[in-house]
Structure 1
Amino acid sequence: MDLSVDFPAIETLTVLKLRWCKFEIPNNTPKGLRLLRTLALMKSKMHNAWDAPTLECYKCEGFVRILDFSSVDALKEAKLHYIQNYNWRYYDSSNMVLANMVAYTGVHVLSTTNIFLEAFKERYIEGEMRSPIFKFLNLKEFYILFKAPNLCTLYHITEFLKRSPKVEKVLIDIKKFTFEPGTLWIIHQKSYMESSNYEFNSIKEVTIDGYKNHCHELDIVEFFCGHAKSLKKLKLIMPKNVKKRARGLDYARLDYIRSRFPGVKVEV
């Protein structure tokens, strides 16, 4: 639906939530949206950039789109639930995710999907294989929702957390997803992680929601218990649907992890 709004007439607007809309902010709007604190867009498209000096919370659900924020110095929370666009045969969202990245580097709370993490994959930059460099120095809470198709593993999660030295709370949502690490994990990523000295000094709580006792999920549990020095609680939430608990609980490995790291309370 095309939405026609006279933004100068609603200059006191603080919350704007739109679903399935297309709208445009005129370039000659000196006052409109200057007090906006929350912007939520669900499968909506916005044209033109605008200043958002008071924006504290931005929520986006749908395909990745480039949104050119001119000023988001007050932004504290971002919910970026990107979904894959199957209608574009050669669609690669990574460049568009990176184009918006600067706006989110100062947030305290970030909730997103694996599409966001995939943007940090190694690529040729100035003739060398490198990952994009962004740091999230204020981030305290990180929530990641995994959806198929997905190439992410524990490697991608930890590489992102290395950019976020103040994270205290991590939630990994795999209720509708099962990790199936491929050749890249087996040959390169796993050996790289085993030879690297990871150390996270701020993470206090980790939750895996949708835990099904698969091998890679246990790798994640063991990694955080061993490398998150401030970790006190690691919570595993199993699916309510019993049929999804195909492998049952691997008590032997869980008990082994608990015995190695008695300072961490692993709850199932």
Structure 2
Amino acid sequence: APTLECYKYEGFVRILDFSKVDALKEAKLHYIQKYNWRYYDSSNMVLANMVAYTGVHVLSTTNIFLEAFKERYIEGEMRSPIFKFLNLKEFSILFKAPNLCTLYHISEFLKRSPKVEKVLIDIKEFTFEPGMLWIIHQMSYMESSNCEFNSIKEVTIDGYKNHWHELDIVEFFCRHAKSLKKLKLIIPKNVKKRARGLDYARLDYLKSRFTGVIVEV
């Protein structure tokens, strides 16, 4: 189907033949994790189809897609796969456990997508629990990073629970997305009811620090 413009898939990662497709504009890749995920790495299969997705304008996917970009040994060196998404305007990522991704992985993907304007991070069924890799390596790297995202105008975090790493993500976008106008935090009703008022001290500080960004809660 050379004129295929929108492709939607939900299920385990599989390799598909996109060799005759050159018009793909939108991809919805809701990959799900196999039960024996600790012993099964689907990254190579995700990467096998990556060329077909690099030209899309809209991409909706899960953390399994993002995990394929983690550093690995390539020809004897630790490197990340090299793919760029030069046409991407809207990016939506759904996080589900088990999951090894952190803010670092989100940032590294967005560096490959210089035209992204809208970002949706769906964590309704997920809570970040960064491990030692984040504490020892990724956090210091992120703190010293001078990266700028000049096209991102709107960010939504759906399932926001005021978790400390979620606040790291909020601060990251406020600080590095230079064109950001709106950052929307959608708190689940059950969290609002259980928390009886979340601690907004850090969030209030970010609002006062980055006055050019409208933070909606």
1:219 maps to 2:163: no
Distance (Å, rounded) in 2 between the aligned partners of 1:89 and 1:194:
30
Question: Which is greater in Rg?
Answer: 1
Displaced runs of 4+ in structure 1, greater than 6 A?
A: none
Instruction: Using the TM superposition, give the Cα deviation of residue 249 of structure 1 relative to its aligned residue in structure 2, in angstroms.
Output: 2.1
Q: Calculate percent identity across the aligned residue pairs.
A: 93
User: Residue 62 of structure 1 corresponds to which residue in structure 2?
Assistant: 11
Determine if contact 2:89/2:116 at 8 Å carries over to the other structure.
yes
Determine if contact 1:169/1:206 at 8 Å carries over to the other structure.
yes
Instruction: Using the TM superposition, give the Cα deviation of residue 90 of structure 1 relative to its aligned residue in structure 2, in angstroms.
Output: 2.6
Distance (Å, rounded) in 1 between the aligned partners of 2:193 and 2:60:
25
* 1:112-171 Cα distance to aligned partner (Å, 9 max, x none): 000000000000001100000000000000000000000000000000000000000000
Distance (Å, rounded) in 1 between the aligned partners of 2:194 and 2:22:
45
Instruction: Using the TM superposition, give the Cα deviation of residue 250 of structure 1 relative to its aligned residue in structure 2, in angstroms.
Output: 2.2
Instruction: Using the TM superposition, give the Cα deviation of residue 73 of structure 1 relative to its aligned residue in structure 2, in angstroms.
Output: 1.3
Distance (Å, rounded) in 2 between the aligned partners of 1:244 and 1:76:
40
Instruction: Using the TM superposition, give the Cα deviation of residue 255 of structure 1 relative to its aligned residue in structure 2, in angstroms.
Output: 1.1
TM-score by length of 2: 0.96
Over 3 Å counting, the alpha-carbon distance change for 1:250 and 1:211 in structure 2 is same
Instruction: Using the TM superposition, give the Cα deviation of residue 242 of structure 1 relative to its aligned residue in structure 2, in angstroms.
Output: 3.8
TM-score by length of 1: 0.78
Over 3 Å counting, the alpha-carbon distance change for 1:258 and 1:243 in structure 2 is closer
Instruction: Using the TM superposition, give the Cα deviation of residue 246 of structure 1 relative to its aligned residue in structure 2, in angstroms.
Output: 4.0
Instruction: Using the TM superposition, give the Cα deviation of residue 206 of structure 1 relative to its aligned residue in structure 2, in angstroms.
Output: 0.1
Distance (Å, rounded) in 2 between the aligned partners of 1:254 and 1:234:
12
- 2:101 aligns with one of 152, 155, 160: 152
* 1:58-97 Cα distance to aligned partner (Å, 9 max, x none): 0000000000111221100000000011157732110000
Select between 87-96 and 233-242 the one with higher mean Cα deviation.
87-96
Instruction: Using the TM superposition, give the Cα deviation of residue 247 of structure 1 relative to its aligned residue in structure 2, in angstroms.
Output: 8.1
Over 3 Å counting, the alpha-carbon distance change for 1:208 and 1:88 in structure 2 is closer
Instruction: Using the TM superposition, give the Cα deviation of residue 189 of structure 1 relative to its aligned residue in structure 2, in angstroms.
Output: 0.2
Distance (Å, rounded) in 2 between the aligned partners of 1:88 and 1:181:
18
* 1:41-73 Cα distance to aligned partner (Å, 9 max, x none): xxxxxxxxxxx2100000000000000111221
Select between 243-252 and 113-122 the one with higher mean Cα deviation.
243-252
Task: Kindly report the root-mean-square deviation, in angstroms, between the aligned alpha carbons of the 2 structures.
Answer: 1.4
SS of 1:224 mapped into structure 2: helix
Determine if contact 1:170/1:205 at 8 Å carries over to the other structure.
yes
Determine if contact 2:161/2:191 at 8 Å carries over to the other structure.
no
Determine if contact 1:199/1:228 at 8 Å carries over to the other structure.
yes
* 1:18-37 Cα distance to aligned partner (Å, 9 max, x none): xxxxxxxxxxxxxxxxxxxx
Structure 1 stretches lacking a partner, 5+ long: 1-51
Over 3 Å counting, the alpha-carbon distance change for 1:198 and 1:151 in structure 2 is same
Determine if contact 1:212/1:244 at 8 Å carries over to the other structure.
no
Distance (Å, rounded) in 2 between the aligned partners of 1:211 and 1:109:
23
User: Residue 72 of structure 2 corresponds to which residue in structure 1?
Assistant: 123
SS of 2:139 mapped into structure 1: helix
Which residues in structure 2 correspond to 1:209-248 (within 5 Å)? 209-242=158-191, 245-246=194-195, 248=197
Q: Judging by fraction of residues, say which structure has more strand.
A: 1
**Number of residue-to-residue matches in the alignment:** 217
Over 3 Å counting, the alpha-carbon distance change for 1:239 and 1:138 in structure 2 is same
